[in-house]
Chains A and B, each alone.
Chain A
């Protein structure tokens, strides 16, 4: 399979074959040799200045709580610790991050008085090395008063929901309504109306390299220098500088030569840039911070989850006449820049690939007790297309039509380009009908349908899904202002465009250097630019050296710089071409004088500048190229210098939103048509992709191997989003997927090779005709697979990720609770971290004796495993210090327990809580003691426990089973102490329960 499928596009095309351009060929990447031999230069591979300190971050275990006190004294006393910063200290040297909507709300990179999501920074500890900083973090005592938490966006809008920010009443950060055409009339007139409710989950394209920041502060000049694996957009530079209270020219932001993937995610490093820079300022020394994986999954950034209701007015033939969007966007606990951009990035494209003239939109942005959101590959596309393309399938089923026919009926006409959508996007070019036809034919849809028939005849669960998607690229920096009203926009001044920049330089020996501010994270920009510029100068790619690092103090850049919105091929590579052409134009004039021909007669070919008509009349490129350095006086007067040329390019099509809120949110629009066949195992309900066909028209292809690499990579991530990946939260806001064993990325075992088909309709709006391609499958694939699964199961609603348990509920109904047993520890319901348990046990010894033991600190000390001390504060109030570990996982806990409703020696209620670096727990239980008539005691107990913090994020899977084990251990010890007896499946001590539960699965050191 692999050999055949990959061959054509992947095989490299290295040889020199005549004057064939380098653009469009799959040459080997210049980036690879270093990366393949361990000589990459990622942020944590680079040396730091001697004396650089290392930071660790103490984070909130609570989703929502007031911080009553933070005691950092012990941490500060630890040898090697240079500084400990809490919210108060950070606030003293920074100002709030700007918030993207008009509201009296602040946004800090660290908790100020209150935590609003699990993982929110609470303190930054700076020490001589990371391990010491982490040691110190454990010595910090934070007293929290938990508040109610809300994690669901619709629940956050309920009148009685806990409110996160007073400045966002009802948790509503923005509420805007839009109207294009006459949707009310269209709905009134239409014979059919179809609706769908979608809950798009939270996920992240999480890269394998985590965040990293190295910051220093020059107090004399009050200037910051920061190295971070940030990816842009550099509009964020202004946000950081403002937060650090310096003008832009006093924030020098640099990026390392290599970055280990980003997919949007590394935009989210910016609050940490502020935090670490503030720490460097306070410590007076450079500070380095490398995020760990638990931090990354818990609290870096995530795509938005969204609740959408989408309705369509539909004609009898399946033609969609109007759409009505109601979107509730969940941006997490803070509205961080550039949010709510995820919601507005697709605003011009709410009609997808379809010709729909009437659209109504209501966009609400809410905050919930989850990690703040930000850029993520696909950026708003997955959320929109999931609703739209699921609805198209619904329409087809409802009208008894073939889904593909409904898609075809609605596609924008090939003759209509450039086509202005109802909501304002200007779709540059395409021929969607042709693309669909080619895909159907080359992808052998007929064969796939026959396969489905055959599988179904055998009783197998087989389905086919379709999607048609317009993939926007090169974002208009002004689209986000659509969140403001026209009046607010007028007041704020227009925002629009997207400046791309490239610099081409010729050195004194005539060799060519290119610099761009594109900040790649593995997309091979250096290779592609060497092709583009080599073509202009008639050189080979190896003659052109490309630098893609950015240094805001020295390089050309603008707010649109960076690597996002698939802007490289369309905008940056095109700008490099323009810069090279400008230099080439001058070189041609110089050469024309030397060769005695007209400049128009000059060509650049094979390392020479030559006369088009007389190839012998030529001069070496390097000679002409060096002339500006060595003999500027001999240049023709009108030629100008050829040493260095920087071009800024912004497309005129990217205008600001108009007064009717129409916005051309992106410059280019590729087209994708996908279909796939899936089979669902009847027993395991696992979904297997049988065949996946993806047709792309991304305009002119610059490097086929890399384009396919983008498609395949995006496809694999989208497959993860469809089938496995979810940033899961419990109802109390506990984060449940803190390891890569909980947040499941697809592996070689799950990712099949998609069949990739291309068509090239160049964009008239970009210098090279290229459009973006990197994000498309993140938009098309999740819903394509969902449509196939819905088709296979014959169900109307499917929710991502399509894990077997979820499909089982669809197919077989909700799983009944297990039969009641003597000892159970079960969760009340899915998503609820509270554990309920009950059981019985017998102990040798009369009830009076057991009662005395339960209340005796010395006995408790000896029966609670790992117990270091028990203090009796009063007759009924105990405090215990416990160090516990299972396997590699050890932690210290402090438990506090009180007894109520004492009925000696028959019954007692215990209530208490335990806290430690790895988590917290609270519980309440009732124990009754009863003589068994043989001199022993039978104990009956029931409890209710809630556990949160790191322990849940990294060990949630194991918690329930572990509970039973721990309780048993405690009981055995108690029985032994009492002289015999045995554990009949449970114990009862809240000390043991709390202390052990919380400690069992915590951290790693």
Chain B
């Protein structure tokens, strides 16, 4: 493992939502700050910077990751997914996002990016979850606006619609 010097900046390169990115970071720079302020990917939010609220959740090499507990230097060479990569195109939302909008699963939207990342990751591996499973998954996220139920409903609905689409495309 390379030793980074505390007082100098180092080049960090990785793939962000499929596209190569690079910028400089001090070794102590958090991934959340790096994404937001060095790369301008401000969709990932910071609510606590101590790993409890879940707002900063991203996916690194297929693993759910709190970007506020990760150093930018740690993801050098990795594959990072953030909320900016969820929609199929700039003017279209994905199924999960649409389910959120239909169900009023967000109010201020500050917590939303992290929750979407957790759900997107989970639903891709567990296409038919129960309410209990979703509640369990999301217990690592804090939302102060919605009281959660609409979020859970959106997740279940998105899972259902994804399964339905799959079945119909199989047919």
Q: Do A and B come from one complex?
A: yes
Could you tell me which residues of chain B, from 8 to 67, have a CB within 8 Å of some CB in chain A?
26, 28-29, 36, 41-50, 52-53, 55
Cα distance, A562 to B44, chains bound together (Å): 27
Known A-B contacts A5-B149, A42-B45, A207-B108; A32 and B141 likewise in contact (beta carbons under 8 Å): no
Cα distance, A717 to B110, chains bound together (Å): 16
**Are B144's CB and A208's CB within 8 A?**
yes
User: Which residues of chain A have C-beta atoms less than 8 A from B108's C-beta?
Assistant: 35, 207-209, 258-261, 521-522
Cα distance, A293 to B68, chains bound together (Å): 12
Q: Which residue of B lies closest to A524 (CB)?
A: B107
**Are B97's CB and A37's CB within 8 A?**
yes
User: Which residues of chain B have C-beta atoms less than 8 A from A717's C-beta?
Assistant: 144
B128 CB within 8 Å of chain A: no
User: Which residues of chain A have C-beta atoms less than 8 A from B101's C-beta?
Assistant: 12, 28-29, 32-33, 36
A686 CB within 8 Å of chain B: no
| Min CB–CB distance B148 → chain A (angstroms) | 5
Quick one: which of B82, B112, B141, B147 contacts A36, CB cutoff 8 A? B112
Cα distance, A26 to B102, chains bound together (Å): 9
A31 CB within 8 Å of chain B: yes
**Are B93's CB and A42's CB within 8 A?**
no
Cα distance, A751 to B50, chains bound together (Å): 23
Could you tell me which residues of chain A, from 703 to 717, have a CB within 8 Å of some CB in chain B?
705-706, 708-709, 712-717
**Are A1005's CB and B28's CB within 8 A?**
yes
Quick one: which of A32, A44, A45 contacts B100, CB cutoff 8 A? A32
A747 CB within 8 Å of chain B: yes
Q: Which residue of A lies closest to B26 (CB)?
A: A131
User: Which residues of chain A have C-beta atoms less than 8 A from B139's C-beta?
Assistant: 747-749
Cα distance, A261 to B146, chains bound together (Å): 11
Quick one: which of A1, A36, A38, A745 contacts B131, CB cutoff 8 A? A1
User: Which residues of chain A have C-beta atoms less than 8 A from B53's C-beta?
Assistant: 208, 293, 740
Known A-B contacts A131-B28, A751-B148; A293 and B47 likewise in contact (beta carbons under 8 Å): yes
**Are A712's CB and B149's CB within 8 A?**
yes
User: Which residues of chain A have C-beta atoms less than 8 A from B159's C-beta?
Assistant: none
A491 CB within 8 Å of chain B: no
User: Which residues of chain A have C-beta atoms less than 8 A from B121's C-beta?
Assistant: none
Cα distance, A716 to B87, chains bound together (Å): 30
Q: Which residue of B lies closest to A522 (CB)?
A: B108
B162 CB within 8 Å of chain A: no
Quick one: which of B41, B47, B83 contacts A209, CB cutoff 8 A? B47
Cα distance, A259 to B45, chains bound together (Å): 12
**Are A208's CB and B143's CB within 8 A?**
yes
B106 CB within 8 Å of chain A: yes
**Are A261's CB and B110's CB within 8 A?**
yes
Q: Which residue of B lies closest to A35 (CB)?
A: B109
User: Which residues of chain A have C-beta atoms less than 8 A from B49's C-beta?
Assistant: 292-293, 1004
Cα distance, A35 to B108, chains bound together (Å): 8
Cα distance, A715 to B144, chains bound together (Å): 10
**Are A748's CB and B144's CB within 8 A?**
no
User: Which residues of chain B have C-beta atoms less than 8 A from A259's C-beta?
Assistant: 108
A6 CB within 8 Å of chain B: yes
**Are B110's CB and A42's CB within 8 A?**
yes
Quick one: which of B84, B148, B149 contacts A38, CB cutoff 8 A? B84
Could you tell me which residues of chain A, from 203 to 217, have a CB within 8 Å of some CB in chain B?
205-210
**Are B131's CB and A2's CB within 8 A?**
yes
**Are A37's CB and B93's CB within 8 A?**
yes
Quick one: which of B45, B55, B141 contacts A747, CB cutoff 8 A? B141
Known A-B contacts A10-B153, A208-B47, A260-B45; A35 and B141 likewise in contact (beta carbons under 8 Å): no
B113 CB within 8 Å of chain A: yes
**Are B104's CB and A36's CB within 8 A?**
no
A684 CB within 8 Å of chain B: no
B146-162 toward A: CB 8 Å interface, digit per residue (1/0)? 11111111001000000
**Are A715's CB and B147's CB within 8 A?**
yes
A39 CB within 8 Å of chain B: yes
User: Which residues of chain A have C-beta atoms less than 8 A from B52's C-beta?
Assistant: 739-741
| Min CB–CB distance A294 → chain B (angstroms) | 8
B103 CB within 8 Å of chain A: yes
**Are A36's CB and B93's CB within 8 A?**
yes
Q: Which residue of A lies closest to B143 (CB)?
A: A208
**Are A706's CB and B104's CB within 8 A?**
yes
**Are A10's CB and B43's CB within 8 A?**
no
| Min CB–CB distance B5 → chain A (angstroms) | 15
**Are A6's CB and B42's CB within 8 A?**
no
| Min CB–CB distance B97 → chain A (angstroms) | 4
**Are A713's CB and B86's CB within 8 A?**
no
| Min CB–CB distance A422 → chain B (angstroms) | 35
Cα distance, A259 to B103, chains bound together (Å): 21
Cα distance, A183 to B114, chains bound together (Å): 55
User: Which residues of chain B have C-beta atoms less than 8 A from A42's C-beta?
Assistant: 42, 45, 110
A3 CB within 8 Å of chain B: yes
User: Which residues of chain B have C-beta atoms less than 8 A from A26's C-beta?
Assistant: 104
User: Which residues of chain A have C-beta atoms less than 8 A from B73's C-beta?
Assistant: none
**Are A209's CB and B45's CB within 8 A?**
yes
User: Which residues of chain A have C-beta atoms less than 8 A from B150's C-beta?
Assistant: 6, 10, 709, 712
A731-757 toward B: CB 8 Å interface, digit per residue (1/0)? 000000001110001011101010000
Cα distance, A292 to B48, chains bound together (Å): 7
Quick one: which of B84, B104, B116, B147 contacts A751, CB cutoff 8 A? B147
Quick one: which of B102, B110, B149 contacts A208, CB cutoff 8 A? B110
Cα distance, A1 to B134, chains bound together (Å): 13
**Are B149's CB and A747's CB within 8 A?**
no
B80 CB within 8 Å of chain A: no
A909 CB within 8 Å of chain B: no
B138 CB within 8 Å of chain A: yes
Quick one: which of B36, B44, B86, B147 contacts A712, CB cutoff 8 A? B147
Could you tell me which residues of chain B, from 75 to 106, have a CB within 8 Å of some CB in chain A?
82-84, 86-87, 90, 93, 97, 100-104, 106
Could you tell me which residues of chain A, from 162 to 220, have a CB within 8 Å of some CB in chain B?
205-210
**Are A36's CB and B97's CB within 8 A?**
yes
**Are B109's CB and A747's CB within 8 A?**
no
Could you tell me which residues of chain A, from 454 to 490, have a CB within 8 Å of some CB in chain B?
none
**Are A713's CB and B146's CB within 8 A?**
yes
User: Which residues of chain A have C-beta atoms less than 8 A from B100's C-beta?
Assistant: 32, 36
| Min CB–CB distance A576 → chain B (angstroms) | 20
User: Which residues of chain B have C-beta atoms less than 8 A from A100's C-beta?
Assistant: none
Most chain B CB within 10 A, of A261, A739, A745, is at A261
| Min CB–CB distance B8 → chain A (angstroms) | 14
**Are B26's CB and A260's CB within 8 A?**
no
A263 CB within 8 Å of chain B: yes
A596 CB within 8 Å of chain B: no
Most chain A CB within 10 A, of B47, B52, B108, is at B108
**Are A208's CB and B55's CB within 8 A?**
yes
Could you tell me which residues of chain A, from 14 to 40, have a CB within 8 Å of some CB in chain B?
26, 28-29, 31-33, 35-40
Cα distance, A714 to B136, chains bound together (Å): 22
Cα distance, A920 to B142, chains bound together (Å): 32
User: Which residues of chain A have C-beta atoms less than 8 A from B153's C-beta?
Assistant: 2-3, 6, 10
Quick one: which of B29, B97, B144, B156 contacts A263, CB cutoff 8 A? B144
**Are B135's CB and A749's CB within 8 A?**
yes
Could you tell me which residues of chain A, from 494 to 522, have a CB within 8 Å of some CB in chain B?
521-522
User: Which residues of chain A have C-beta atoms less than 8 A from B142's C-beta?
Assistant: 208, 740, 745, 747
B111 CB within 8 Å of chain A: yes
5 more A-B residue pairs beyond the given contacts A28-B101, A716-B147, A741-B50, with a C-beta to C-beta distance below 8 A = A6-B103, A12-B101, A36-B112, A36-B116, A709-B145
7 chain-A/chain-B pairs, Cβ below 8 angstroms: A10-B153, A36-B87, A37-B43, A208-B45, A260-B109, A709-B107, A748-B136
| B residues with CB within 8 A of A | 26, 28-29, 36, 41-50, 52-53, 55, 82-84, 86-87, 90, 93, 97, 100-104, 106-113, 116, 131, 134-136, 138-153, 156
| A residues with CB within 8 A of B | 1-3, 5-6, 10-12, 26, 28-29, 31-33, 35-40, 42, 44-45, 131, 205-210, 258-261, 263, 292-293, 521-524, 705-706, 708-709, 712-717, 739-741, 745, 747-749, 751, 753, 954, 1004-1005
7 closest A-B pairs by CB: A38-B43, A522-B108, A260-B110, A35-B109, A712-B147, A522-B107, A45-B42
